[in-house]
């Protein structure tokens, strides 16, 4: 582990320690989200109701948490032509903030109720298919920050009123009065008087069964069940349901399938949340500063020297010291003609006027210099030699004029 990495880790640990110390004495903030989850102990969860539901009904309670209502109820249907009925009897229950039931499941619930069963739905927003089929409407009326009073229509229950600290009224604005039975009301408490009284609990017949519809699901949350005697209201609402088995649908509420996620818990705790964010920021900084690849310094390697020139000088000096000027002249001529053939593609077998003109056009050199060089080469080939050393110098100088 490098020294730089150790420094980064030490800084992150120090920051984490500061966050934990600063957050140690801070009270945990209350989560007021209306999750309606049986796993949540927050005010608007259903943890308490889940623990008490078997005591309320005193009958078999089966929770549906892994399948949709359609999948569950359809699996309980006997398609035998002599039966064509459900293998189960009882009441389907769902308590949620908003509609979490798909249309296909709603249709299956209708079919379940039509066979002599019941359905209790407590929610603020009901499925449109259900509202249209039962000819009812739900309205939300904002009346300011005043408490909501709820009570049941049955006078045998002494018209006991219960108070919910809710500032929004969800109620049935239209019902089929010929068939619908009103079971409960709600209203706003203003100057010790009930105003804006509306229906919030109804019983609607459907073929051989009944729908029990309720617009105040907050009555079943942890907060209201533990507040004063509001639990009595929840018990009274459920007391209207016929005796029999209960099929409680909880799937899909607040994404219960991932409610035990470690990250969900981390983000629910302020200290862990900030520690996680600092960790991510620290890792990002570390990656940015170490994105450039590190390696040892590459040593500068000097290129190998070109020994061709030195070799040529050595050979030239050898010939010159030996005084073999004739051989040097021949090699200079051979080298010159080879270069002309390779670079300019000119035939060098005959050095005449045609050769001179071609070399002049392709090299752009002075024609007089070319003529002089050709003359010297031809004279040397005729074996007429004066001073070989002087001829060597003249031919070398003439070749240099052409090649350079």
Report how far apart, in Å, the C-alpha atoms of 188 and of each of 45, 148, 236, 284 are. 24, 5, 20, 54
pTM of the predicted protein model:
0.60
Beta bridge partners of 188: 148, 195
Q: Which fold has domain 47-268?
A: Rossmann fold (3.40.50)
SS3 245: strand
Ranges of each domain in the chain? 3-27+272-289, 47-268, 311-403
Query: Pick from 89, 59, 95: which is nearest to 76 by CA?
Result: 89
User: Rounded to 5 degrees, what are φ and ψ at 338?
Assistant: -65, -40
C-alpha–C-alpha distance, residues 187 and 200, integer Å: 9
What string of pLDDT tens digits covers the 404 residues of the chain? Answer: 567 767 777 887 888 777 777 766 667 788 888 889 998 999 999 999 999 998 999 889 999 988 999 999 999 999 888 888 999 999 999 999 888 799 999 999 999 999 999 999 999 889 999 999 999 999 977 655 567 889 999 877 667 888 887 656 789 999 988 899 999 998 887 777 888 889 999 999 999 999 999 999 999 999 999 988 899 999 999 999 999 999 999 976 644 444 455 676 677 677 778 888 888 888 888 777 776 656 667 788 888 776 666 766 676 676 666 667 787 788 888 888 898 888 888 988 888 889 989 888 988 888 998 899 888 888 888 865 556 778 878 888 888 888 87
pLDDT for res 204: 97
pLDDT at 117: 97
Backbone torsions φ then ψ of 170, nearest 5 degrees: -115, 120
**Looking at the DSSP assignment, which residues form a beta bridge with residue 138?**
172
Distance, in Å, from the CA atom of 397 to the CA atom of 404, rounded to the nearest integer, reads: 10
């Amino acid at each position: 582990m490098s020294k730089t990495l150790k420094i980064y880790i030490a800084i992150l640990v120090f920051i984490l320690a500061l966050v934990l110390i600063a957050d140690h004495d801070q009270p945990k903030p209350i989560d007021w989200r209306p999750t309606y989850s049986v796993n949540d102990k927050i005010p608007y969860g259903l943890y308490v109701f889940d623990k008490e539901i078997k005591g309320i009904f005193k009958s078999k309670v089966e929770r549906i948490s892994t399948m949709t209502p359609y999948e569950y109820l359809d699996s309980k249907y006997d398609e035998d032509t002599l039966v064509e009925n459900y293998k189960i009897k009882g009441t389907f229950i769902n308590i949620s903030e908003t509609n979490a039931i798909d249309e296909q499941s709603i249709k299956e619930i209708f079919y379940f109720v039509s066979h002599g069963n019941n359905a209790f739905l407590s929610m603020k927003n009901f499925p449109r298919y259900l509202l249209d089929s039962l000819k009812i409407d739900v309205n939300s009326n904002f009346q300011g920050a005043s408490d909501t009073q709820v009570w049941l229509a049955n006078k045998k229950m002494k018209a006991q009123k219960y108070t919910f600290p809710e500032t929004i009224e969800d109620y049935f604005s239209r019902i089929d009065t010929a068939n619908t039975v009103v079971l409960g009301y709600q209203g706003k408490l203003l100057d010790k008087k009930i105003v804006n009284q509306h229906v919030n609990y109804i019983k609607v017949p459907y073929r051989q069964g009944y729908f029990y519809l309720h617009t105040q699901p907050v009555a079943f949350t942890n907060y209201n069940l533990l507040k004063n005697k509001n639990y009595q209201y929840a018990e009274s609402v459920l007391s209207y349901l016929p005796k029999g088995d209960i099929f409680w649908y909880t799937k899909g509420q607040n994404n219960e399938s991932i409610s035990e996620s470690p990250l969900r818990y981390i983000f629910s705790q302020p200290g862990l949340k900030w520690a996680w964010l600092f960790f991510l920021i620290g890792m990002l900084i570390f990656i940015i500063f170490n994105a450039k690849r590190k390696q040892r310094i590459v040593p500068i390697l000097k290129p190998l020297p070109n020994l061709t020139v030195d070799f040529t000088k050595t050979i030239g000096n050898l010939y010159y010291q030996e005084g073999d000027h004739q051989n040097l002249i021949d090699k200079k001529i051979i080298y010159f003609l080879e270069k002309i053939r390779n670079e300019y593609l000119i035939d060098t077998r005959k050095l005449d006027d045609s050769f001179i003109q071609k070399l002049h056009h392709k090299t752009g050199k002075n024609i007089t210099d070319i003529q002089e060089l050709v003359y010297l080469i031809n004279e040397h080939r005729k074996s007429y030699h004066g001073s070989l050393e002087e001829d060597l110098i003249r031919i070398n100088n003439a070749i240099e004029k052409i090649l350079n």
